[in-house]
Structure 1
Amino acid sequence: MQKLKHVEEQRGVGRAQILEAIRKAGNIARIDIAKETRVSPATVTAITSELMETGLIEEIVPDEPRQKAKRGRPRVALKIRGDAFPVAGVKVARETLSTMIVDFAGKELANHEYTLTNPSMTPEELAEEILRALLMTSQKAGMELSDISAIGVGLAGLIDAPRSFVHWSPSLDRRNVDIGETFEKVFHCPVLVENDANLVAKAEQLFGHGRNLSNFIVITIEHGVGMGIVIDDKIYRGTRGTGAEFGHAKVQFEGALCQCGQRGCLEAYVGDYALLREANAVIAGEPLTDLTTLWKMAQSGNPLANAVFERAGKMFAMGLANVVNIFDPELIILAGGRAAFDHLDLKEVKREMRAHMIAIDVEPTEVIAHQWGDEMWAKGAAAYALDGVAASKIRELAKNAS
């Protein structure tokens, strides 16, 4: 009995591996799947038959002229079945909800931006706001909300993703929330909750600069500072789901107050709110409420505004050096609305980062900026939902086989 259980577990791993290979390739023949995954051709044939019966994949017969076709049966490729299980992704920001519906192949069907009435609310209020936003999005896609197979939600904060449990988030007015239980009362389908920076890493892995990399790091810079880590092609979360909290790494003892409630966090010197707080403390006149105005002041030569950005850049460079010294990733991607600000991408900042790095005689980790809108964060959330649907269907196959 134990041996049979082990065999089925191995087969489950094989199903997930083969499905992922098909998704990455776009379309691929069975013999090439076997080479890519190092699974025997016979096992690939058996597993792909199961995946087809479940509706996860489908065949593509090449439309070749008969005279060009090779002898025998033409090579049949496999691809993800796009119309099988549409999913939704939601990015919860401070002032907006960005939503997106994609088909099972990841093709965008509709997106929508919804204005929030409150940056911090009860779990029930957040669930209702997401519901309203998704109803509007599904209407744009020409479908019912009940057609959606799963919903991925990206939140800033400390989140135990496997349990959909929020230890703390600036979007919620309380700590230690079983947000999964709240969402279950509102939505008809599974809702998977994840730290939003991890979802950006997922989006970069599937659609962006991390597509062909096994080890890379995404750092998000907006109202707060987040980090998503990909190690050996997998998102790293830590044992409690609170790993990779780059923004809450301590850079000064008893330093500036962070929105998490502690002092001396990197975010308290680099996040949007931190820069505005510092600027308003040193620059006379009307209170500054947005970074664009502060940045224009710096560009026009205001020394105090320049000093605010210069300090943030130095703090950020030191933080980047620590990340490289600990993880030695292939690539660091700076993502989010703030990634375009020059003080985070200046040669001087990179040079200062390298000055704090362990010195060896090889090229240092590359750092690039990738600015994208909230809809791409939502696409990362949708990708997380796609993973959830695939895992659920593979579990069903294992259950039926036992």
Structure 2
Amino acid sequence: MKTADPELMRAINRLSVLDTIRRHGPISRVEISERTELSTTTVSAITASLLDDGLILTRHEGDIRNAAARGRPRVMLEVNQDAARVVGAKIAASRMVFVVANFRGDVLSTLTLPIRIDRQPIAVIADLVEDGVRRCVVDAGLSLEDVDSVCLGIPGVVEHRTGHIRSSPIFREVNIDFAAEMSARLSTPTIIESDAHAITLGHHWFGKARELEDMVLVSLEQTLGLGVLHRNRLFRGAGGLSHNLGDLVLGIGPQGVIRLSSQAGESAILGEQQTDGRFAEAIRLGRGMTHVQALIQADDDRLITAAVRAGEAIGLTIANIVTLFAPPRVILVGSSLALGEPFLNSLRDAYALAIPPSLKGVSELVFDDSTDDFWAQGAAAVALYELYESPWSTTGPAL
């Protein structure tokens, strides 16, 4: 019988304990043992190591059952917020948003640069990203030497393990080793992650899935993305690949394969309107969906029809996802939510029609208008998660 790798099990248990302290601290060792289902001996050994590495701190509390009693103080544990600092970023076609966060995930500074970067040469995009990271770090009263890791959330198909971007609407080129490019420029380990994965982990750490170990997130931005969380971990494909939900095949028509992006992608929704004067300018500035919302409210029939078609396609897709994974919650985020009631009602109706009777009521649909800062904080959570997983010594993380 093959047994588990002891080093791997120690790493998994260490991550579980540290993340439990982050989520529920200040917390006692007994409570950690109950939540993680690890023995008190194992928890004591792990927390002793975390204390030695400076990743957690002790806090002494009096007898909380009776404030007047002189009971022995309880030793509570909490994450040392100063153990590390990271930068997270949401990189979109028309803007870049950066945050600096401490080891607990609290945001120390934010920076938004409303700059259109899509289809620029790689060197230009790298220059702009580097400037944004450096400015946000300075705004936090730090230098790059104080930063342990950077994570850039980018739309498209990303290989998390290698840092390669296979394709993205931001870049002209394909198969770009952007992690190596930015790591060299910043002299700091840089992670490239799908923006959908970043916002998924953001909701798990800070948002509407904090209490869940399993959930699904669908991002409706310039690209359609998918995040799947299972047992507190992001599910990734081979090589750490992200999922481009827009490539999902809905069927085959006279013109060939029908993909989700052709029905519900931003370009499909905007249609011929993209070449109209004011509309084209709004799209160029990253305000296309806001402009669409105003036109839908003014009863623009073409856009209402497009919104209904997109909602139906997304509703059917979510029903298929729930059929595969049966998550307790599906969170929908992104600019397409601005399409309003025609889109949302069509989505809900299609989902209700398509979901198997045996799965009705299993998954809760949650619509969330996450800010760009929150997307960037999600990227910071990706960087922190990797630090939490890393083997540490008293000199810091081994990356």
Do the aligned partners of 2:310 and 2:343 also contact (CA within 8 Å) in 1? no
Offset, 1:74 = 1.3
Match of 1:32 in 2: 31
Distance 1:6 1:316, change over 3 A: closer
Question: How far, CA to CA, are the matches of 1:305 and 1:347 in structure 2?
Answer: 15
Q: 2:261 aligns with which of 267, 271, 274?
A: 267
User: What is the identity, as a one-letter code, of the residue corresponding to 2:298?
Assistant: S
Question: How far, CA to CA, are the matches of 2:82 and 2:109 in structure 1?
Answer: 14
User: What is the identity, as a one-letter code, of the residue corresponding to 1:265?
Assistant: R
Offset, 1:226 = 0.9
Offset, 1:18 = 0.8
Match of 1:225 in 2: 224
Q: 2:351 aligns with which of 350, 353, 359?
A: 353
User: What is the identity, as a one-letter code, of the residue corresponding to 2:263?
Assistant: Y
Do the aligned partners of 1:87 and 1:150 also contact (CA within 8 Å) in 2? yes
- Structure 1, unmatched stretches of 5+, are 257-261
Distance 1:108 1:63, change over 3 A: farther
Question: How far, CA to CA, are the matches of 1:31 and 1:158 in structure 2?
Answer: 42
Offset, 1:330 = 1.0
| 1:104 matched to 2:103 | yes
Question: How far, CA to CA, are the matches of 1:352 and 1:213 in structure 2?
Answer: 26
Match of 2:285 in 1: none
TM-score normalised according to structure 2 size? 0.88
Distance 1:27 1:120, change over 3 A: farther
Q: Deviations over 1:311-331 (max 9, x none)?
A: 222222222222222222111
Q: Deviations over 1:70-127 (max 9, x none)?
A: 6663111101100121111011111111000011111110000013343123443333
Question: How far, CA to CA, are the matches of 1:27 and 1:361 in structure 2?
Answer: 38
User: What is the identity, as a one-letter code, of the residue corresponding to 1:307?
Assistant: T
Between stretches 377-386 and 34-43, larger displacement belongs to 34-43
Between stretches 379-388 and 179-188, larger displacement belongs to 179-188
TM-score normalised according to structure 1 size? 0.88
| 1:127 matched to 2:126 | yes
User: What is the identity, as a one-letter code, of the residue corresponding to 2:353?
Assistant: A
Do the aligned partners of 1:229 and 1:244 also contact (CA within 8 Å) in 2? no
Q: 1:293 aligns with which of 291, 294, 305?
A: 291
Of Structure 1 and Structure 2, which has the larger fraction of its residues in strand?
2
Distance 1:65 1:302, change over 3 A: closer
Q: Deviations over 1:300-343 (max 9, x none)?
A: 22322322222222222222222222222111111123324324
Q: Deviations over 1:141-189 (max 9, x none)?
A: 1111221111111011111102212111122221112222212211122
Question: How far, CA to CA, are the matches of 1:341 and 1:73 in structure 2?
Answer: 58
Matches within 5 A, 1:360-375: 360=358, 362-375=360-373
Do the aligned partners of 1:316 and 1:344 also contact (CA within 8 Å) in 2? no
Question: How far, CA to CA, are the matches of 2:7 and 2:324 in structure 1?
Answer: 37
Q: Deviations over 1:214-248 (max 9, x none)?
A: 22111111222111111222111122433532221
Match of 1:381 in 2: 379
User: What is the identity, as a one-letter code, of the residue corresponding to 1:354?
Assistant: A
Do the aligned partners of 1:337 and 1:372 also contact (CA within 8 Å) in 2? no
| 1:156 matched to 2:155 | yes
User: What is the identity, as a one-letter code, of the residue corresponding to 2:270?
Assistant: L
Do the aligned partners of 2:194 and 2:242 also contact (CA within 8 Å) in 1? no
Between stretches 217-226 and 346-355, larger displacement belongs to 346-355
Question: How far, CA to CA, are the matches of 1:245 and 1:173 in structure 2?
Answer: 17
Question: How far, CA to CA, are the matches of 1:81 and 1:280 in structure 2?
Answer: 49
Match of 2:21 in 1: 22
Do the aligned partners of 1:99 and 1:378 also contact (CA within 8 Å) in 2? yes
Distance 1:348 1:167, change over 3 A: closer
Offset, 1:64 = 6.3
Identity %: 25
Task: Give the secondary structure class of the aligned counterpart of 1:349.
Answer: helix
Offset, 1:351 = 2.1
User: What is the identity, as a one-letter code, of the residue corresponding to 1:268?
Assistant: S
Question: How far, CA to CA, are the matches of 2:66 and 2:277 in structure 1?
Answer: 77
Matches within 5 A, 1:2-401: 6-62=5-61, 68=67, 73-253=72-252, 264-279=258-273, 286=277, 288-289=279-280, 290-343=288-341, 346-360=344-358, 362-394=360-392, 396=393
Question: How far, CA to CA, are the matches of 1:286 and 1:139 in structure 2?
Answer: 39
CA RMSD of aligned residues (A): 2.8
Distance 1:91 1:280, change over 3 A: closer
Question: How far, CA to CA, are the matches of 2:252 and 2:5 in structure 1?
Answer: 50
Question: How far, CA to CA, are the matches of 1:236 and 1:317 in structure 2?
Answer: 22
Between stretches 97-106 and 334-343, larger displacement belongs to 334-343
Question: How far, CA to CA, are the matches of 2:365 and 2:241 in structure 1?
Answer: 24
Match of 1:259 in 2: none
Between stretches 122-131 and 368-377, larger displacement belongs to 122-131
